[in-house]
Amino acid sequence: MSSINVKIEFGGGLELLFSNQRSHRVSIPAKVPLSSKPEDAEKSPEDKPADITYLMYWLRDNLLKEREELFIENGSVRPGILVLVNDTDWELEGEGEYAIQEGDEIVFISTLHGG
Amino acid sequence: MPPRNCALCDKARAIVKRPKTGQQICKDCFFHVFETEVHNTITEAQLFKPGDRVAIGASGGKDSTVLAYVMKALNDRYQYGLELFLLSIDEGITGYRDDSLETVKRNQQQYDMPLKILSYDELYGWTMDAIVSQVGKKNNCTFCGVFRRQALDRGAAMLNVDHIVTGHNADDIAETVLMNIMRGDIARLGRCTSICTQGEDTIKRSKPFKYAYEKEIVMYAYFKKLDYFSTECIYSPDAYRGHARVFLKDLEAARPSAIIDIIHSGEAFEIKEEVKATQKIQQTCKRCGYMSSNELCKACSLLEGLERGVPQAAITDRARKKLASEGGASENLRTIPYFQRPGALPPTAIVP
């Protein structure tokens, strides 16, 4: 199965949920089941390119160390967390449905910490 | 999705979607509109006059770090003629504030502004670490909030500034509107949306980021690569505000204009005269000279409770009665130094 390499950055305090490490390099499958939710994967065997929603669950299952509810809410990134795809607001890139490309850099920044 | 051009300049590729307007704009236009909106907020409210000495309340967090950067940029660009200072309060929280103060010290170098740090220990004789060891994690935010407000004013008086600016953003203000409605706190609801507050006896305080969305502040810090500190306070966060915050973020996800709409609703509230009449008038604390709505200001009440070993005295009725039954304050308890506004005459000189 082919895979793609992605650079992940956490900021704004979100890194605390990920071993207090801001920068990660990960390798994820290029094609994933239609439902990104690992729990539903068997029910939907068809393939699609790995997208950010898939990546979010992948990070939960592989890198997240604590308090999932501070990262994921209702099947998406928790409101108040900004996501950037190669330094562009993910709202311009289709949000969770953005199909990840080899070498992409995805940044997650929490805005919820004190100012 | 194909890359889209900036809705403003139509030249560069759009990199951010503005929550306030839905516009997709490029990095340079984003910097420009963000800074210009803050400038417009400042000029429309006539916050400053040339020669003003202004302290930026700096915590090392995202809002105050961006505020310091933008204030410096606007002061240079539009020649406000302000003398800027950084003012930080050290609550005495090991592993939290000591780290964030390191960020402020770097900001001092980066922005070339004088920095004043005033500690709770110095002013009240109690660090938050010591207070939490007395009161536990439940009500400690009350102490911290009351003490910080007064410490900022006192630090500002030491710097002899005319004005304090804080990094409160649109999200913070919308949250506060919601909280004041839910608590029925009419007095605060009336004033929480004011961009500038000034009692007779207090130093002017204002919020240049009143209309700036948190999302844009964080994006701005990210694209400018500003150095800020982001760790949750190690003591229990303000749970009530936390609920308002989560609720607001959910609203924003569904409709981004919700934040500015709530601020506008807050601004439009008018307090009935008969409600106003029931509100307490401002007076001066008889012990420390700080503004107060009672004989003793909240900080003095809290401090007296701490000093007399009844830290809940200013919070619960039962503890207050216990304190009262033990008689008045004894002479040798620690109190807060008498408050004097910069330039104001000492209180004895006013009495004929």
What pLDDT sits at residue B345? 46
Measured in angstroms, the CA of A87 and the nearest CA of chain B are apart by: 7
What pLDDT sits at residue B147? 94
Residues B248 and B334 in one domain: no
CA dihedral B339, B343, B349, B352 (to 10 degrees): -110
Residue B191 domain flag: yes
Separation of CA B62 from chain center: 13
Residue A115 domain flag: no
Confirm or reject contact between A106 and chain B (CB < 8 A): no
Residue A19 belongs to what domain range? 3-110
Domain count, chain A: 1
Residues B163 and B210 in one domain: yes
Residues B264 and B315 in one domain: no
Q: Average pLDDT in the B283-290 region?
A: 88
Residue B63 domain flag: yes
Question: Which of A87, A94, A113 shows the shortest C-beta gap to B1?
Answer: A94
Residue type, B53: R
CA dihedral B253, B207, B242, B309 (to 10 degrees): 180
What pLDDT sits at residue B128? 93
Q: Average pLDDT in the A12-32 region?
A: 92
ipTM value of the model? 0.92
Distance CA B222, CA A12 (A): 10
* CB-CB contact of B73 with B229 (8 Å): no
Taking CA–CA distances from A80, the nearest residue in chain B reads B249
pLDDT band at B330 (very low <50, low <70, confident <90, very high): low
pLDDT band at A39 (very low <50, low <70, confident <90, very high): confident
pLDDT band at B62 (very low <50, low <70, confident <90, very high): very high
Distance CA B11, CA B255 (A): 28
Residues B226 and B334 in one domain: no
Residue B345 domain flag: no
Q: Average pLDDT in the B344-349 region?
A: 46
Domain count, chain B: 2
Q: What is the CATH number of the domain that holds B250?
A: 3.40.50.620
Q: What is the pLDDT of residues B336-345, one digit of tens each?
A: 888 776 655 4
Evaluate if residue A105 carries a pLDDT over 80. yes
What pLDDT sits at residue B261? 95
pLDDT band at B65 (very low <50, low <70, confident <90, very high): very high
Q: Average pLDDT in the B217-223 region?
A: 97
Q: Do B15 and A93 touch (CB under 8 A)?
A: no
Q: What is the pLDDT of residues A92-101, one digit of tens each?
A: 999 999 999 9
Q: Considering only CB atoms, which chain B residues are within 8 Å of A10?
A: none
What pLDDT sits at residue B346? 46
A27 or B326: which leads in pLDDT: A27
Residues B275 and B290 in one domain: no
Evaluate if residue B327 carries a pLDDT over 70. no
Residue B15 domain flag: no
Least confident of A55-59, B123-127, B181-185: B181-185
Question: Which of A78, A89, A98 shows the shortest C-beta gap to B16?
Answer: A89
Q: Average pLDDT in the B52-71 region?
A: 95
DSSP string, B269-324: ----HHHHTTSPPPEE-TTT--EESSSS-HHHHHHHHHHTT-TTTTT-HHHHHHHH
B251 or A45: which leads in pLDDT: B251
CA dihedral A60, A66, A68, A71 (to 10 degrees): -80
* pLDDT above 90: percentage of residues in chain B: 58
Question: Which of A16, A78, A82 shows the shortest C-beta gap to B215?
Answer: A82
Residues B159 and B256 in one domain: yes
Q: Average pLDDT in the B178-207 region?
A: 84
Evaluate if residue B335 carries a pLDDT over 70. yes
Q: What is the CATH number of the domain that holds A12?
A: 3.10.20.30
Residues B305 and B265 in one domain: no
Evaluate if residue B310 carries a pLDDT over 90. no
Residues B106 and B226 in one domain: yes
Residue B80 belongs to what domain range? 45-231+239-279
Residues B216 and B261 in one domain: yes
* pLDDT above 70: percentage of residues in chain A: 92
Residue A20 domain flag: yes
Q: Do A13 and B167 touch (CB under 8 A)?
A: no
Residues B141 and B274 in one domain: yes
Distances B41 to A61, B86, B134, B207, B261 between C-alpha atoms, Å: 45, 21, 43, 9, 17
- B63 is known to lie in a ligand binding site: yes
Evaluate if residue B313 carries a pLDDT over 80. no
- B194 is known to lie in a ligand binding site: no
Residue B321 domain flag: yes
